[in-house]
Copies of this chain bind each other. A is one copy, B any other.
């Protein structure tokens, strides 16, 4: 293998710039399309005054949460900004660019999250109102789809626009700057996923435990003080968190491709990774506009159809672009590093992109199969409800394990397939990252599909709380919600696939960063059969388990606080149960806000400081092992958590649709238990693993040169001190959150229990 990890600085010429400008214009066009979709959504009817009241409370709660989260993240962002600034860099330009674009990535990520949240709080009311009108099914579906379209357009538009700007302004020293950009996006997305995930599930689980279980009142009953918080949660978790997460996937995947691009394919290598998602933007617009359920058709089929159609169009256009834009030999590339390399760049790029698009399609199919109500796995989970909750849990876990295995193997096959496209390591890694950009072409439609879920869920909540929606309208909203469960699981599968592809490709930069710092002729290898690398793999796998456990625990703790507050309100104010007194919704929103922001700190610190501890403490070989372990276990864990949760949720819906005894039966109670277990799995721990992997990857990439430099200089003491400080920070955070947990368990809830 020649040219191992030879990344190099890119050079763009005049005509190249104009291509980037065209890409930026396409990105802006996506935003314009999004704007027109938005106008259509906002023009829809807003229902009764009562519905508007409720929607307003949800909007205010969500906005208040994100405002406070912004303040928390600001502190975090400044600290990381300073750390980043302090890290060794080659020259002031790189140092400033890296830190500055870290901020840009972070701000973009947060803004897209905010936009997603704002939009969905506007749309939920309108979907509920539409379901109430004549021809409600079509109208409600249309508004929900259109809302998804707005968020989808915004995500791909801003993602592509951001990447174009970075390339335009930093083409010369792009890699480090791009790393900063990706890191900012990933870090903020992780916090929004974790914080929003804790908020939404604390409110959801807390509301269910007191409402459904203790008081026997239905979900979304207005007498439950946690209902508004539950609806706020859908927006800050499933919408804001998801939008930021997918933006981050977009950003980091593009970063990986752009870093490798010029080394592998010269100037064209910097441009082609922008062209592919630009095509994706065009096909996403098509996908959003052609999504229309035929009469009597399941909504998921309609979504799937438009996904496959738009994916097929992307595939054709990308193949054409690859052959049109790229030469048939490496000698034909502008500024090719290895003009004598055998192989056809156009063919390599086309096949790589096709692999990525096919991967998206297979994940969509697999996830639909494992979490959809009409397929065997969910039906089987539903059947096991007849023998009680234990068998529901076991069958759901089996579904999760099984789907994780097949999805992981498919992702692995895609990586391996792209890897085989060239014997040159850099080109092979670039092919893997191009498969990632192929995956990105589907993100617009994916986001549109995903947003659909929480918007429908919220619309259902508003309908239930206001009591102003007809039975028929409520049924429509329930159906839309069930489709949402599957689309949400699909999004998580696609997101984790981007994490694996980007991480694999970024290993090239990792190796190069170490080679540069070592100034050695011997290329860096992390030999897996050596115990230090293997120990790294074990620790990496352990961190995924720890992060998942922390997230689940955080939900339990925060839900406990919600339970206490709702119980207190019922106890102090008997009028709430009679329906004569309005519960203090705002207090539960405040509790969720406070607790979720407090709880996101520990997993956040773990993600940032664990690679620092391993890198400085055990060296760069162990750190590579750590990343490998985290990627492998993280992939499986993320899909397991997402799909078992999705299967449980839909098994519950199956029973609620009248199977196995229907609502109120023992079988229903069993599936409610499954759903509650699945809540923090699928909406808190699972989706946060994607940005977690990327954050750890980028932190490792950023600190590796410092580790090497200290090692060469013999600063063992300094390395050990840095590692210990990192370990202590994590340990202190864990201890503090454990203490908090016990305090909640031991005091107020107990008191109210005993009242």
Residues of A in contact with B (beta carbons under 8 Å apart): 205, 209, 213, 376, 380, 383-384, 386-391, 393-395, 397-398, 401-402, 404-405, 408-409, 411-413, 415-416, 418-419, 425, 428-429, 432, 500, 504, 507-508, 510-511, 524-535, 537-543, 545-546, 548-549, 552-553, 555-556, 563, 618, 624-625, 628-629, 631-633, 635-636, 640, 672-673, 676-677, 680, 742, 745, 753
Contacts and interface: CB of A to CB of B under 8 A. Distances in A.
Q: Which 7 A-B pairs have the closest CB atoms?
A: A401-B549, A390-B676, A541-B632, A507-B529, A419-B531, A525-B527, A526-B528
Nearest to A407: B542
A678 to B, nearest CB: 9
A416 B673 contact: no
Given A209-B387, A504-B531, A629-B629, 20 more contacts: A380-B745, A388-B673, A389-B673, A390-B676, A390-B677, A402-B549, A404-B542, A408-B541, A409-B538, A416-B532, A416-B535, A419-B531, A507-B531, A511-B529, A527-B527, A537-B629, A537-B631, A541-B632, A542-B632, A625-B628
A628 B529 CA distance: 8
Contact of A539 (B390, B412, B633): B412
24 contacts: A209-B391, A384-B556, A386-B753, A390-B672, A393-B393, A401-B546, A401-B552, A408-B541, A408-B542, A409-B542, A411-B538, A412-B535, A412-B539, A416-B532, A525-B527, A526-B528, A528-B537, A529-B624, A529-B628, A537-B631, A537-B632, A629-B629, A629-B633, A632-B632
A604 B397 CA distance: 21
Contacts of A395: 556
B510 A529 contact: yes
Contacts of A753: 386
Contacts of A534: 415, 504, 507, 628, 631-632
A402 B546 contact: yes
A209 B537 contact: no
Nearest to A401: B549
Contacts of A525: 525, 527, 529
A668 to B, nearest CB: 14
Nearest to A559: B391
Nearest to A622: B416
Nearest to A553: B398
B633 A632 contact: yes
A528 B528 contact: yes
Contacts of A745: 380, 383
Contacts of A527: 525-528
Contact of A416 (B388, B528, B618): B618
Most chain B CB atoms below 10 A, which of A389, A541, A633: A541
A239 B151 CA distance: 58
Contacts of A542: 404-405, 408-409, 412, 632, 636
A636 B672 CA distance: 29
A531 B428 contact: yes
A528 B535 contact: no
B526 A529 contact: yes
B419 A538 contact: no
A633 B636 contact: yes
A416 B622 CA distance: 10
A439 to B, nearest CB: 16
Contacts of A543: 405
Given A394-B556, A527-B526, A673-B388, A636 B532 contact: no
Given A395-B556, A401-B548, A408-B541, A531 B432 contact: yes
Given A429-B531, A535-B419, A548-B401, A632 B629 contact: yes
Contacts of A416: 531-532, 535, 618
Contacts of A415: 531, 534-535, 538
A753 B413 CA distance: 44
Contacts of A401: 545-546, 548-549, 552
Contacts of A636: 538, 541-542, 545, 633
A151 B735 CA distance: 41
A540 B531 CA distance: 17
A574 to B, nearest CB: 22
Nearest to A524: B529
A552 B419 CA distance: 35
A638 B92 CA distance: 49
Contacts of A402: 546, 549
A36 to B, nearest CB: 42
A529 B546 CA distance: 24
Contacts of A511: 529
A654 to B, nearest CB: 15
Most chain B CB atoms below 10 A, which of A404, A511, A624, A633: A633
A556 B398 contact: yes
A633 B529 contact: no
A401 to B, nearest CB: 3
Given A415-B531, A425-B530, A545 B388 contact: no
A136 to B, nearest CB: 33
A234 to B, nearest CB: 19
Contacts of A391: 209, 556, 676
B387 A540 contact: no
Contacts of A380: 745
A152 B535 CA distance: 31
Nearest to A379: B745
A525 B386 CA distance: 53
Given A405-B549, A549-B402, A538 B412 contact: yes
A659 to B, nearest CB: 13
A383 B393 CA distance: 20
A341 to B, nearest CB: 18
Nearest to A514: B529
Given A209-B387, A529-B524, A538 B398 contact: no
Nearest to A546: B405
Contacts of A628: 528-529, 533-534, 537, 625, 628-629
Given A409-B542, A534-B415, A549 B398 contact: yes
Contacts of A680: 394
A415 B624 CA distance: 17
Contacts of A507: 529-531, 534
Nearest to A675: B390
A631 B529 contact: no
A416 B535 CA distance: 7
Contact of A631 (B383, B538, B548, B552): B538
Contacts of A389: 389, 673
Contacts of A213: 387-388
A616 to B, nearest CB: 14
A93 to B, nearest CB: 27
